[in-house]
A and B are shown apart, each in its own frame.
Chain A
């Protein structure tokens, strides 16, 4: 579930409020958005992917809360890691075009 909106990184663009398919965030005037309905989070990671400044962290646990701090996920290099892997953001190449997808197609057993 979504666990973190980083105060230090968030630029208040509210894109997460807009793109979350289950409407988990609320916009706050002159402040960063809040996680208003965490129970509605479906752990789809889309907010993280759309966040232009890597200010969000979705913990992989879908059914229960975990307590994490920004320092911990930052130190482990987890914050922003999904967007990097998908290849979204400036000077990145979308993973969709990666040649390994074709390589897997040639060899996959499914």
Chain B
């Protein structure tokens, strides 16, 4: 079927957050013709844009690097790899210096040099859009990809819609980079509602595998009324019950489970940042302006006034699982298909755990750069050519009426992945129950069809979330231990015999197999 807009490119990038923009920019700088499509608006889309983030920017001396690599190694269950951490540290160092050269306004240190350990999302992503545009990349905003196109040589493009005009688009490309982020299941965690696992679905439909999908149960603290999830600041918090007594053992890091248990028992938990020393409070306000915005608007002083909190699911956005990649070109198992950012597994540098910012921001920019290079070289080697490409959607995308039960599917998936007693605290019994119900849901989905004239992207999001949840829980039921963020109530200890990755594959049938960790990360 003829599309309203038809383009040919060397590289198509799906997603315009940090990973996608670095990928597009890098591919363009290698001489490739690049199209970038974003479901929302490149510059505001995704988890980075509305937030402030630390960046894993570490001086390239051995002592600093070793300390940095060991920082979260144990927390991640020893699943990070030395080679990958070195690669990402090097690339991040280079990219952050590049941002400085492009004019990102870093604060200055005592010596008057730019201090580069963090980025303000709005500023960063506005700059990235500008640079990408200048590099000649064609940006299509509000233009979600609905399905990949492929033939026997592999992936060769995608089709989608333009949300604001209703036009359909098709991009034929020598290589496709999926940089569409992770999946937070429409939990309204800050900036995360565009992150619905769309890229996982497209990759799975093309035959790619996943790695570490059990590390997908990140929850962030937020005020109960608010979308702002900035858990780091809660390291200055005290936690209270409604009667004003202290919640013993509650904390922003390891004590988050205590908070989750209380909330799931129906007990209200309150926080106040009363542990923040008076002299640093102005610094906290400036460094994360968005953290204070909701409080200021309601007349709450978070350093003095107790406010009720909740935990919002951040799924694989702050989790580490994602599309398995084969090597440092960020290619997947599928010819012509690349992945970067949260869409790709971040286990390689984080293992099974990550705090916020830091590693995640470093991974996004570094893996984006590597994917841009890898995809560009592949496309230039193979050419675009005349191909007989077909759509890969597992649910037919048709013209005309359809009665796809999008809202029902979304609710059903959320009921499985959001409750703390299912996803945060996992047991064989409850995981098995969730898997059965999600499999039934999947069968129902597979019998439906999606109308291109309806809200096709929302329908596809519901399919993507269902598939993501099934990969998560199938991996989780197979890891019979507690490692990284994956907590098994029935197996509360780490088990040295399960020091491996879990690779999951499939659409209708999901299979899970262990894969050795390539290198013991840092032998000490």
Contact = CB atoms under 8 A, between A and B. Distances in A.
A40 B194 CA distance: 10
Contact of A42 (B39, B43, B193, B287): B193
Given A88-B122, A95-B289, A101-B287, A43 B226 contact: yes
A6 interface: no
Contact of B107 (A22, A60, A85, A97): A97
B43 A94 contact: no
A71 B117 CA distance: 41
A17 B277 CA distance: 42
Contact of A96 (B44, B104, B290): B104
B101 interface: no
Interface string B39-62: 111011110011000000000000
Contacts of A59: 297
A63 interface: yes
Contacts of B124: 96
Contact of A107 (B49, B119, B283): B283
Interface size class of A (residues with CB under 8 A): 35 or more
B491 interface: no
Contacts of B104: 96
A46 B164 CA distance: 18
B284 interface: yes
A46 B106 contact: no
Contacts of B107: 96-102
B325 interface: no
A82 B232 CA distance: 21
A86 interface: yes
B173 interface: no
A12 interface: no
A99 B287 CA distance: 9
Residue with the highest number of chain A CB atoms closer than 10 Å, among B41, B49, B164: B41
Interface in B262-315: 277, 280, 282-287, 289-290, 293-298
Given A42-B193, A43-B226, A104 B298 contact: no
Interface in A11-50: 17-23, 27, 40, 42-46, 49-50
B414 interface: no
A45 B290 contact: yes
A105 B9 CA distance: 43
A86 to B, nearest CB: 6
B454 interface: no
A90 B163 CA distance: 32
Interface in A54-69: 59-64
Nearest to B235: A110
Contacts, number: 146
B453 interface: no
B115 A60 contact: no
A110 B232 contact: yes
B50 A46 contact: yes
Contacts of B188: 42-43, 62-63
A100 B108 contact: no
Contacts of B280: 103-104, 107-108
A82 to B, nearest CB: 6
B226 A98 contact: no
B451 interface: no
A85 B282 CA distance: 13
Contacts of A63: 188, 225
Interface in B374-424: none
Contacts of A110: 232-233, 235, 252, 355
Contact of A102 (B108, B122, B190, B293): B108
Nearest to A108: B280
A50 B287 CA distance: 20
A100 B227 contact: no
Interface in B108-126: 108-109, 115, 117-120, 122-124
B255 to A, nearest CB: 14
Interface of A: 17-23, 27, 40, 42-46, 49-50, 59-64, 78, 81-82, 85-86, 88, 94-105, 107-110
9 contacts: A19-B44, A21-B40, A21-B46, A23-B40, A23-B164, A43-B227, A78-B296, A94-B105, A104-B286
Interface of B: 39-41, 43-46, 49-50, 104-109, 115, 117-120, 122-124, 141-142, 163-164, 188, 190-194, 225-228, 232-233, 235-236, 252, 277, 280, 282-287, 289-290, 293-298, 355
